[in-house]
Amino acid sequence: MQVYRGMDIGTAKPTADEQRETPVHLIDVVDPDQEFTLVDYKKCADRAFQEIRSRGKMPLLVGGTGLYMRSVTTVLDIPAAPPNQELRDKWSAFAETHGQQALYDELRSCDAETADRVHPNDRKRIIRALEVFQLTNVPMSEWHRRNREIHMEIPCLIVGLRQERQALVAKINERVESMMEMGFLGEVRGLLDRGYGPDLKSMQGLGYKQLCRALDGSLIIDAAVEEIKQQTRSYARRQMIWFRGDSRTQWVDVDGKNPHEIAMTITKLAGFA
């Protein structure tokens, strides 16, 4: 989400002072109405890694989106199927005319395996799977199978920060309140005023989606804030499940430790101390 310009508070983008202290890459890459896919991310990340290494430095990939991390730490056969708006519009119109179940049945007819993994009401993912199949003539499930077959790990240290659940919940709630105090609602209002509609992929991000609904009157602000907290907690649980499933992850317990102590622990894991 930090690739989008103008989406700063809700993505916890590094401040100008923080960026002066530590160079940060892959932020402010595209406008909120521009497409930015997993393939785009991998290309940008690979270029950033090369540039960092050319200066004799070690790149640090910081964040919690597991699939994006995996795309640059393993050799994956990502389907080279860029978004095709004509196909997306076609399938969206099909769903509006014939119903969501009919759209889901279309996916099942060409890729039953993917259909089994996707919720029948998840229109976005259903249309993406149909799009990939039509553009590549290869089902999405086959792309995933190929990925498992060529799953080659790139040398790296993967560290997961682990915290006692109640402490993590409290930190998440405090973080959401802090973002609201920093002007998160105003940031979303400004994006809408500049013509970035609530249906954009970027505006469907955690926090942005809820505040768009608050601003159009379909959700009161207090309820929107509570929903952001709840959805963030759910996202954190999914992150933990994802990284627990990656045997490469080395866990560091952060309860009772300050940032310097945590950094020193990671440094030792990397063999530099």
13-68 tens-digit pLDDT: 999 899 999 889 999 999 999 989 888 998 999 999 999 999 999 999 998 788 88
Pick from 75-79, 205-209, 221-225, 228-232: least confident: 75-79
Phi, psi at 249, each rounded to 5°:
-70, 130
Domain with CATH 3.40.50.300 in the chain: 16-76+152-269
Does domain 16-76+152-269 fall into CATH 3.30.300.20?
no
DSSP 121: T
In the prediction, which pLDDT does 151 show?
62
Domain with CATH 1.10.20.140 in the chain: 85-149
How confident is the model over 180-191, as pLDDT tens digits? 999 999 999 999
d(CA 168, CA 164): 6
What does the angle CA 212 – CA 124 – CA 14 come to, to the nearest 5 degrees? 50
Third-level CATH fold of 85-149: Histone, subunit A (1.10.20)
State the amino acid at position 228 in one-letter form: I
d(CA 30, CA 4): 5
Question: What Cα–Cα distance (Å) separates residue 163 from each residue in 106, 252, 263?
Answer: 43, 9, 15
d(CA 179, CA 127): 33
Mean pLDDT (the chain) is: 90
Q: Is pLDDT larger for residue 208 or for residue 77?
A: 208
Pick from 103-117, 128-142, 145-159, 228-242: least confident: 145-159
In the prediction, which pLDDT does 255 show?
94
Q: Is pLDDT larger for residue 214 or for residue 16?
A: 214
